[in-house]
């Protein structure tokens, strides 16, 4: 399990998922610092990385979120190791970016993090009134900070994504956590003319 930070707009939400605890990290985190960490990971993970200003603009959309995952090193330092960027539209989550620190690739970390991300959408069952409570830290435009209780309804029926057809490592990870191919878009990527493989993971069936 991992601890994580959820970003949206100017909000920075700490989510304790049973991972490594660090009260100092939790207290020091704010939106700007978390956005910097996200931009650094994005640059490390992708050659066609999205610059910081584009990430910030995307996160200003009310339905757009980024989640950064943290783990502890051998020296007990808590460090960011991966992230997802996604849209939540009604009961569907659209995964737009999934990155793992290059030093952790090939050892199963990607599968564990993605499974953890997908699993959080199962926490609220249809018909249940329970919600998960998480700690909220907000950085406003004037850089003032406040802390409050925030209620987040983490329910969706389906997670969708698209991936390059020749990205075998990513396809293997997605399939390992339950994503299935549902279609293809030929010549979707302009640089390589690869097809985009469309994949879905059903969380709860529509009634």
Closest C-alpha to 94, from 146, 58, 45: 58
The pLDDT, as a whole number, for residue 142 is: 29
Inform me whether the pLDDT recorded for 197 exceeds 90: yes
Average pLDDT for residues 35-50, to the nearest whole number? Answer: 93
Task: Evaluate whether 113 touches 82 at the Cβ level (below 8 Å).
Answer: yes
Average pLDDT for residues 55-66, to the nearest whole number? Answer: 92
Question: Over the Cα atoms of the chain, what is R_g?
Answer: 17
Query: What is d(CA 141, CA 131) in angstroms, rounded to the nearest whole number?
Result: 29
Tell me the pLDDT band of 161, cut-offs 50, 70 and 90. very high
Across the chain, the runs of DSSP E, i.e. the strands, are: 3-8, 11-15, 64-72, 78-89, 92-100, 132-139, 145-152, 158-164, 180-185, 196-202
Structural domains of the chain sorted by starting position, each given as residue range(s) with its CATH number in brackets: 3-158 (3.40.630)
The pLDDT, as a whole number, for residue 104 is: 81
Burial code (b: 16+ CB inside 10 Å, e: under 16) for 13-43 equals bbbebebbebeebbeebebeebbebbbebbe
Cα 5 to chain centroid distance, Å, stands at 9
pLDDT in tens, 68-81: 988 776 666 778 88
Tell me the pLDDT band of 146, cut-offs 50, 70 and 90. very low
Inform me whether the pLDDT recorded for 135 exceeds 60: no
Tell me the pLDDT band of 103, cut-offs 50, 70 and 90. confident
Structure tokens at 55: 């990430």
Closest C-alpha to 133, from 3, 15, 38: 15
Query: What is d(CA 117, CA 65) in angstroms, rounded to the nearest whole number?
Result: 12
Q: What is the mean pLDDT of the chain?
A: 77
């Amino acid at each position: 399990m991992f601890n994580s930070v959820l970003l949206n707009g100017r909000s920075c939400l700490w989510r304790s998922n049973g991972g490594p605890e660090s009260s100092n990290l939790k207290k020091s985190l704010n939106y700007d610092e978390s956005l910097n960490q996200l931009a650094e990971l994005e640059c490390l993970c992708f050659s066609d990385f999205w610059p910081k200003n584009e990430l910030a603009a995307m996160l200003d959309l009310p339905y757009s979120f980024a989640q950064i995952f943290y783990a502890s090193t051998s020296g007990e330092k808590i460090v960011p190791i991966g992230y997802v960027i996604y849209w939540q539209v009604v009961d569907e989550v659209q995964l737009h970016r999934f990155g793992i620190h290059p030093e952790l690739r090939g050892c199963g970390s990607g599968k564990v993090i993605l499974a953890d991300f997908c699993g959080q959408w199962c926490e609220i069952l249809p018909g249940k009134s329970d919600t998960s409570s998480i700690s909220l830290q907000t950085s406003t435009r004037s850089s003032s900070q406040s802390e409050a209780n925030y209620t987040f309804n983490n329910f969706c029926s389906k997670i969708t994504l698209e991936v390059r057809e020749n990205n075998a490592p990513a396809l293997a990870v997605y399939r390992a956590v339950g994503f299935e191919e549902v279609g293809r878009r030929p010549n979707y990527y302009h640089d390589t003319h690869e097809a985009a493989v469309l994949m879905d993971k059903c969380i709860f069936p529509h009634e």
